Amino acid sequence: MKSSLLVVVARLKILLAIIAVVAAAGVIFFLLTRGGPEEDKISDTPGNQTRARSRANTGLPAAGPDKPETGSTGAERQAPFSVEDAKRLLDSLRTAIADGDWLQAKEICAKLAAQPAAFDLLIDILLDNASMEENDIGLRWRAAYILGLMGNKKAIAIFEQALGTEKAKDVRSNIVLALGMFKDPQAMPVLQSVFLDGEEDPGIRQSAAQYIAQIPDGSGSAFLRDLLSGQSAKDVKIWVIKALGEGADKERSGTVLADLLTNSDAPELRQAAAKGLGRIGSPDAAGALTASLRDDTDFRVRNTCARALGRFKDNPEAVSSLTEALHDDKDPTVRGCAAQGLGALESKQAVADLKEVLQKERNRVVRVRIVEALGRIGGEEARKILQNRVKNDPSVHVRNTAQEALQQLNK
């Protein structure tokens, strides 16, 4: 009996030893395959998974959001973005362009723009401009854009050099865009050269004029204003006028454009000047526009003046001038533009005049413009007028427009 009990105890000891060994092996296997607790926490976050995919796409090493990319010392945490990193990003950019992955290309461009280490590599790409292959052109115009984003003025001389040999329109356009990003007098000679080059693409020349006008010290606007008094072609002067309307020196440019609106013999230049004055938006500009809306002999110029005056909110002179044109101008397109201008101003005081003209206006298009204006102005009186038009206007087009205006008011 005693010997049997000893056998049972021995077997139990062996069984317990086996269980202990198996448990220990399981713990070791779990720790080896699972990794540390911090690693597990990072790998499970969606943001880290996205970053890992992004870094895989750009050729950079993966790293968690709270971990240094290499090691743990302060020096390693502050390791600079190297030229080799920039080369890997550029390789990824080439791949994205070849694959037509424009979103990925855009993201890579933003990363490169933040890294000075990429500057010289981008210059090499921009100046290596013999190839007219689509992918090479795509890489060069992005290189120009990134250099503009970087804001390093050393690139200005490189842009001038590249323009001397670059044949691709898209690349030339982006070089001009990049020069415009600087908004610096140092870039102006290159932009002037592009603008004055009669062989250059017209769209690129127009862009150059706009960037010249935006140079903050006013030197660019002064250069353009001088061209208006010279023998430049009419289309060149129109580009100049548009640029001045959006430029930095609005006060002086407004004076020049007001004089042009009043005294130019060319209706096209007067139209351009009216648009420019609308963008400038000064009280003097409003005065010039109201005078031309009343007196100009070309209905197209008066149309443009009426639209431009629609930008002058809280300006009684603009409301008065548009109301007068709504009542009295002989051309229906001008009356329609006057109604649009009053709608843009959202002038409550104009509602009575709009109602009066609506009752006697025979031109269907003008009535449509008046109804649209009432819908923009709103208010109870405008609502009543629109309801009446829905029921009683002889034109189905006017009735439908009135119904749409009411629906907008009810939102």
- Residue 283: per-residue pLDDT: 83
Average per-residue pLDDT for the chain: 85
For residue 35, which amino acid is it?
G
For the beta carbon of residue 219, count every other beta carbon within 10 angstroms. Answer: 13
* Window from 66-75, 76-85, 289-298, 381-390 with minimum mean pLDDT: 66-75
Q: Judge whether residue 69 has pLDDT over 70.
A: no
Query: Which residue from 288, 362, 299 is spatially nearest to 334, judged by alpha carbons?
Result: 299
Query: Which residue from 138, 336, 314, 330 is spatially nearest to 322, judged by alpha carbons?
Result: 336
- Residue 410: per-residue pLDDT: 81
Q: Which residue has the tokens 């109301």?
A: 323
Q: Judge whether residue 265 has pLDDT over 60.
A: yes
| Percent of the residues in the chain that have a pLDDT greater than 70, as a whole number | 81
Q: Which residue has the tokens 């903050």?
A: 216
86-97: pLDDT as tens digits? 999 999 999 999
Q: Judge whether residue 340 has pLDDT over 70.
A: yes
Taking every pair of Cα atoms in the chain, the longest distance, rounded to a whole number of angstroms, is 132
Report CA 100 to chain centroid distance, whole Å.
Answer: 22
Q: Judge whether residue 221 has pLDDT over 50.
A: yes
Q: Judge whether residue 142 has pLDDT over 50.
A: yes
149-200: pLDDT as tens digits? 999 999 999 999 999 999 999 999 999 999 999 999 999 999 999 999 999 9
| Percent of the residues in the chain that have a pLDDT greater than 90, as a whole number | 76
Position 136 confidence tier, pLDDT thresholds 50, 70, 90: very high
The residue-averaged pLDDT of 50-67 equals 35
Judge whether 150 and 182 are in contact, CB under 8 Å: no
List the domain boundaries for the chain: 86-175
* Window from 64-78, 151-165, 330-344, 375-389 with minimum mean pLDDT: 64-78
Q: Judge whether residue 316 has pLDDT over 70.
A: yes
Judge whether 57 and 86 are in contact, CB under 8 Å: no
